[in-house]
Chains A and B, each alone.
Chain A
C-alpha cells in the first residue's frame, strides 16, 4: 500500500460533455449547441486551454492513471500539470472532518479496509 498515491484532476471544461444535456435546463443544452461547441476555438482564446473537448481529456485521464511519468505524484492537477487547489480544499481541519464523516457514510470500518491508520 505504501506506493499508492492519490491525485485529484481537473480535466478541463468539456464543451461537448453529455453532462450539459443531462438533467439540465434547455437553456444549457442550447448554450452547448449554439455557443460552446461552435465557438470553441474563439472561446479558448479568451478562456485558455482548460476549455476543450472530452476526447483529449479522456486521453489525459488514462495517461495520469497508468503512465510512469506520474509515478509518485500526489495532489491536485489541472489537465496534466500539478496545480494548486482551492484554499478550502487544502484546509486540514475541513479535510479531517470530512474524512471521519466519510468513513461512517461509506460504511468503512477497521475490518473492511487495509488503511488501518485512517481511524482515530
Chain B
C-alpha cells in the first residue's frame, strides 16, 4: 500500500533531486515537502516548485515549517494528523528528516525554545515531529529516515577541528558555550547534532521493536 511521504528541508541540494526521483519513480505515493520559507521569494523553494510542477496535481505539496520552533513542529504534526483523518492525505509511509541548520561564522544561536539552533533543527524538532506522527503510519508500517553524516564519528570528516561529543551535562548540548573559533565550533555543533540523531535512532528502534514484540505476544495469547 502506498502512503504519505513527509520530507523536511525539501528545497536543499539533496532534497530537490530526492523529490524529483520520489515523484517519478514512486508515483503511487503522495508527498508533503516542507521548507522553512514557502513563500515565492525563496529561490530554493521556487526551484523545488519547478521540480514538482510536471507531476500530477495533488501528488505533492510544499508546506512551510520552521524547525527552529518546537511548537511549529507540533502544529505541523496536528495538520498532518487531521489531514489524514479527513482523507486529504493517505496514512504515512515515511518521514524523512533532512532539514539542517548550521552557522560556521558566528556564535551559537538560541531559538525561541531556548535551544541551540543547530541541535534543535537537526534533532529536537525532528524528534517532536516523528513522535507525534508515529500513530499515523499506515497499518503495514513504514520508515523514519534520519539524515546523518560521517561527521558524527570523530576523525572521519576533514572539516572537523573539535570532535563531536554528547556532553555529560546535556544542558551543554542545548546551550553550548561561546568560543572564538566560530568555524571549528560551528562545525562541532553540526557534527554533534548528527551524533545525537544517530544515537537517538537506536533508541527509537528499540522502543518500536518492543511494541512489535508486545503485539505479537498479545496475538498468540488470544486462543
Contacts and interface: CB of A to CB of B under 8 A. Distances in A.
A86 B153 contact: yes
A60 to B, nearest CB: 8
Interface in A78-116: 78, 85-86, 88-92, 94-99, 101-103, 105-108, 112-115
A108 B170 contact: no
A7 B145 contact: yes
Nearest to A28: B104
Interface residues of A, number: 68
A30 interface: no
A26 B200 CA distance: 33
Interface in B52-101: 70-71, 73-74, 93-94, 96, 98, 100
B178 interface: no
A66 B6 CA distance: 11
Interface in A47-65: 50, 54-59, 61-65
Q: Is the interface of B mostly helix, strand, loop or mixed?
A: helix
Interface string A8-46: 111101101111001111001000000000000000000
Contacts of A101: 170, 173
Contact of B141 (A1, A76, A117): A1
Contacts of B208: 1-2, 4-6, 115
Contact of B196 (A24, A50, A58, A98): A98
B110 interface: no
Contacts of A16: 13
Contact of B199 (A56, A78, A88, A103): A88
Contacts of A102: 123-124, 127, 200
A7 B144 contact: yes
Interface of A: 1-11, 13-14, 16-19, 22-25, 28, 50, 54-59, 61-67, 70, 73-76, 78, 85-86, 88-92, 94-99, 101-103, 105-108, 112-115, 117-118
Interface of B: 5, 7, 12-22, 25-26, 29, 44, 70-71, 73-74, 93-94, 96, 98, 100, 102-106, 113, 115, 123-125, 127-128, 131-132, 134-135, 137, 140-150, 152-154, 157, 165-166, 170, 173-174, 182-183, 186, 195-212, 214-216
18 contacts: A2-B216, A5-B205, A8-B197, A11-B149, A13-B157, A28-B104, A54-B14, A54-B16, A58-B15, A58-B20, A61-B147, A63-B25, A65-B96, A89-B202, A94-B166, A107-B70, A108-B128, A118-B131
